[in-house]
A and B are shown apart, each in its own frame.
Chain A
Amino acid sequence: MICRDFTRSLLAYLQGEMAEPKFGEMVEHEATCPACRRLVAEHPASEPRLNAEETGSVSPGQTESAEEVAQGAKEFLTSVIARTSGSDCDWVSLRMAEAMDEPLVKESVRPVREHLEDCPSCRRLRDQLNALPEYYDALPLLKGSQRFTEAVLARTVGPRPNFLEVVRAIWRSPGTLWESAVACALVVAVVFGSVLPSFDSVSDSVSDSVREVAQSAQVPTMRWGTLASSGERPSLLRRWSTGAANAWSGIETKATTVSEWSARTSEDIRTRDYPGLLEDIRVVLEPLGLYPDSDQKPDLEPEAEAESGVDSDSGPAAH
């Protein structure tokens, strides 16, 4: 409450025509504001009251110190308590509510106790005030959820992008695309590499299948085309299957060749057999016309010679 409100309601306050909670606010304001307390004391409608000036603690016109103000407020509260205790249920209820935070001032304890002994409704109110914490505990403490977070984000920074939008964004950024592609390839290689079938197992499996088909094409009960067993033209199915078997055999042979070549070159590198390595490379490149002529081919011998102690200056430099 501010002094202006206090002044406006002063007459009703002094004439006892004010109800709670307004009355309580007026009492508290008067107790804490020396200027308004002086106003009350000087008001014609005011009953004789106990205030700082009357008790002689402060002479008229003298400015009160903080301690004097506090002392005056305390004495005034004592006078109010004496005036209202035992008859004002509202005053008692406020004191009981205050007592939930901090102990009552000792001037209030006795009047409140005496009032409670005689007033069943205030006892009921006291019990209810004591039960308030139990009521408060019954209210739930809510927790946030993913849905709530999403909703807030959607209303503020925009919705979280879904998978397709992320992919689209990556696609529009070539640099990121390549990085993502390499990352995905690595993940696939690491995750699935150990469970993928080896080339040999696939090769065996396909060879067996082709062989079975080729054999089944020679079954005499087949009705389409000319039977192979009759010695005449081979059937269409047999020709296809034989062709597939031959083609696969060629692939398999080449793959085996490549595999062997790879193993051989690896061995050459491991054992530092450079002439052997050169020979292996020549075997592959020469049929393709990519192998350099003998006068152009790189000579690895000097290094070997150098290792064996022969002067390298006698031959072409090997780098």
Chain B
Amino acid sequence: MKTDEELLTLCQKRDSHAWESLVRRHQGRVLTLAYQFTGDNQTAEDLAQDVFVRLYESIDMFEPGRKFQAWFTSLARNMCIDHYRKRRKDRQIVSKPVEEFYDLESTTEGSDARLERRELKQRLLAALDSLGTINRDAIVMKDLQGLSHEEMATMEGVPIGTIKSRVSRARAELARVLIRLERPQMEAQV
């Protein structure tokens, strides 16, 4: 099986089969990353498509000897952050009533575990939406994508200490928002 770098070299020669292989290999990861930034399937799919289109347009900028994975992750992350920033300007998520984040009709569907998982997901997406761009980026890249502090520092060109600090603050902020989101539900149960 060809490596990413070999496929990309073929793509630079306009080999459409190599390009298709590259898309198939990475589409799941890009879709997941986009979903973690947008919290919506359709938007994530559109964003992931844009990422691949940008990648295709930037293929000739890839320098031999570099790691494709890091380069591509950085490109995808930057596009996701740009999208997130634009979206935050247009929306008023924080002003939404918390109940909107819970699909109350779905409580009769599926098993308890499934329901609980669904609630956790909706609550987490709502909490992530209320975070600032830097905090959300820190959570997504470190906790959801599993990048190391070193990788994040290299990607952003900042010291590791700054990354560690950002991640800690982002987690603390996320935990506080989750507590705020849980409170109305607990009161309703009482």
Contact = CB atoms under 8 A, between A and B. Distances in A.
Query: Which of B32, B45, B162, B172 has the most chain A CB within a 10 Å cutoff?
Result: B172
B143 interface: yes
A135 B124 contact: yes
A67 interface: no
A153 B23 contact: yes
B24 interface: yes
Contact of A138 (B27, B117, B172): B117
Given A101-B167, A152-B49, A96 B172 contact: yes
B179 A124 contact: yes
Given A148-B31, A149-B20, A149-B24, A140 B121 contact: yes
B53 interface: yes
B174 interface: yes
B44 interface: yes
Nearest to B173: A21
Contacts of B117: 138
B176 interface: yes
A139 B23 contact: no
- Interface of A, secondary structure class, is helix
B153 interface: no
A107 to B, nearest CB: 17
Interface in B159-177: 159, 161-162, 164-165, 167-169, 171-172, 174-176
Interface residues of A, number: 40
A139 B20 contact: no
A94 interface: yes
A138 B120 contact: yes
A144 interface: yes
Contacts of A138: 117-118, 120-121, 124
B56 interface: yes
A144 B144 contact: no
A277 to B, nearest CB: 54
Contact of B31 (A21, A101, A143): A143
Interface in A105-159: 124-125, 128-129, 131-132, 134-136, 138-144, 148-149, 151-153, 155-157
B121 A25 contact: no
B58 to A, nearest CB: 12
Contacts of A125: 172, 175-176, 179
Contacts of A101: 149, 164, 167
B24 A94 contact: no
Interface in A7-29: 20-21, 24-25, 28
B143 A132 contact: yes
A142 B172 contact: no
Nearest to B36: A139
B28 interface: yes
Interface string A46-90: 000000000000000000000000000000000000000000001
B28 A144 contact: yes
Given A32-B161, A128-B178, A136 B143 contact: yes
Nearest to B19: A157
A28 B164 CA distance: 10
24 contacts: A21-B169, A97-B168, A97-B169, A101-B167, A125-B179, A128-B178, A129-B172, A136-B124, A136-B143, A138-B118, A138-B124, A139-B144, A142-B28, A142-B31, A144-B24, A148-B49, A151-B49, A152-B27, A152-B53, A155-B49, A155-B53, A156-B19, A156-B56, A157-B19
Given A136-B143, A144-B27, 14 more contacts: A93-B176, A95-B168, A97-B168, A98-B164, A125-B172, A129-B171, A132-B175, A138-B120, A138-B124, A140-B32, A148-B27, A153-B16, A155-B53, A157-B56
Interface of B: 14, 16, 19-20, 23-24, 27-28, 31-32, 35-36, 41, 44-45, 48-49, 52-53, 56, 117-118, 120-121, 123-125, 143-144, 149, 159, 161-162, 164-165, 167-169, 171-172, 174-176, 178-179
